[in-house]
Every structure is written in C-alpha cells, then in structure tokens.
C-alpha cells in the first residue's frame, strides 16, 4: 500500500499551523507521518500552506531525506483538499492500492492501515465511519487511483466516490474521525 499524506491546508479554523501543535511532545504532523512510514515503503507528503514550516519540522525530526518519503508541493492549495489529493496521487504508480490520510490525525496507527487493507478485497475502496461520520484514512484500489487522476481539480472526494463500490464500515474507534481543526478539538485531544 502506498500512502498520500495531506499536509497542505491553511488551518483557517485553528488560526495557526495546526500540524506544528504538540501532542505527547511531538508535532501532529510527526505522529501522522510516523504511522504512515511504519506501514508503507512509499509515502507521499503533500505540502501547501506553511510549506517552509512543514519542511523545517521534517528536518528537525530527521525525516526530510527518509528513503520512503517523497515530498511534493501543491501550488494551488486554495483550490481545496481535492487539489492536494490529486497532487499526491500523481506520484502514485503501479498496481498498488493507496490510502489517503490526513496529517492532523495523530491517533491513526499502523493497525488502522492494516484494517483498511484487510477489507479492500475486490471493492473500489474502503471508508471507515464512526457514528455515521466518514473518517480517514480511506483506501483506494489501484483502479480507483487511476480514475481519480482524471477527475477535475474542483471536484470533491464525496462527489468522486458517487457510484463507486466503496466498502463502508462502521467502527466504534473514534480515532478515524479525530482530526484537529479547531482549538476545542485540540484541547479534547490533549485530554485523552
């Protein structure tokens, strides 16, 4: 499995670069990156806003030259999350499936990626829900990745998935939907 890790957002609801916020003495970005690298030998990290700060964090934690990490930049992050997804998917090749993950989900671990892989079977993708809320990462089959590469940059993942054979799974694990978009969400994370 290859992984696209999205780290291009503006963090507008947070008011600061949320990926630099600390959780258990490490930036949120590093938690998400380490989980991805623990599972995959090809991780594509997509930067956008805060590119220089993101690269500085990677350097501080000695990941900027990691053999499994490929860093790409979305020159148009204002176009939305799907534009960053497409930027990352351009770096995905071959017949492997690909997980699309968020860099502000510090509770996601190797086991979550394993769960996705085990449930792909012959489906186009796997998406896990918690209390009916769609979570990340989500897994795309190799065929779905190729289809996505031809999607319009102004599309959304939700609209792209319409009509696709997605294995939707309900989980009691809130880690799937815990991303840090606001200061109250960050405080909740720190209280766990």
Task: Name, in order, each residue with C-beta under 8 angstroms of 67's C-beta and a sequence gap of 6 or more.
Answer: none
DSSP conformational letter for 48: B
CA distance 28 to 16: 13
Determine the 3-state secondary structure of 118 from DSSP: helix
Residue 154 has pLDDT above 90, yes or no: no
Joined together, the tokens standing for residue 67 give: 């053999």
Q: Is the pTM value of this prediction over 0.85?
A: yes
Strand partners, 138: 100
- Longest Cα pair distance anywhere in the chain, in angstroms? 43
pLDDT of 57-81, one tens digit each?
A: 999 999 999 999 999 999 999 998 9
Residue 94 has pLDDT above 80, yes or no: no
DSSP conformational letter for 175: G
CA distance 148 to 51: 24
Single out the residue of 147, 143, 149, 19 nearest to residue 83, CA to CA. 149
Name the phi and psi angles at 129, rounded to 5: -115, 150
- Domain 2-191 CATH class label: alpha beta
Number of CB atoms found within 10 A of residue 62's CB: 8
Task: Name, in order, each residue with C-beta under 8 angstroms of 155's C-beta and a sequence gap of 6 or more.
Answer: 82
Rg (CA), the chain: 15
pLDDT of 95-113, one tens digit each?
A: 889 999 999 999 999 999 9
80 versus 139: which is more confidently predicted? Answer: 139
Residue 39 has pLDDT above 90, yes or no: yes
For residues 109-121, average pLDDT: 97
Task: Tabulate helix, strand, coil % of the chain (nearest 5).
Answer: 35, 20, 40
Please, what is the average pLDDT of the chain? 95
């Amino acid at each position: 499995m290859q992984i696209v890790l999205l780290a291009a957002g503006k963090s507008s609801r947070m008011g600061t670069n949320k990926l630099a916020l600390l959780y258990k003495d490490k930036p949120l970005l590093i938690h998400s990156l380490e989980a991805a690298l623990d599972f995959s030998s090809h991780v594509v990290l997509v930067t956008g806003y805060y590119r220089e700060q993101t690269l500085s964090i990677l350097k501080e934690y000695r990941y900027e030259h990691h053999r499994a990490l490929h860093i790409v930049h979305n020159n148009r992050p204002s176009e939305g999350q799907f534009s960053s997804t497409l930027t990352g998917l351009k770096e995905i090749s071959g017949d492997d499936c690909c997980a699309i993950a968020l860099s502000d989900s510090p509770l996601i671990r190797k086991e979550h990626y394993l769960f996705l892989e085990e449930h792909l079977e012959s489906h186009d993708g796997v998406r896990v829900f918690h209390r009916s809320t769609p979570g990340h990462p989500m897994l795309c089959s190799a065929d779905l990745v190729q289809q996505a590469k031809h999607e319009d940059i102004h599309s959304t993942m939700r609209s792209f998935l319409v009509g696709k054979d997605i294995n939707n799974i309900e989980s009691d694990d809130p880690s799937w939907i815990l991303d840090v978009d606001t200061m109250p969400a960050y405080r909740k994370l720190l209280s766990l």
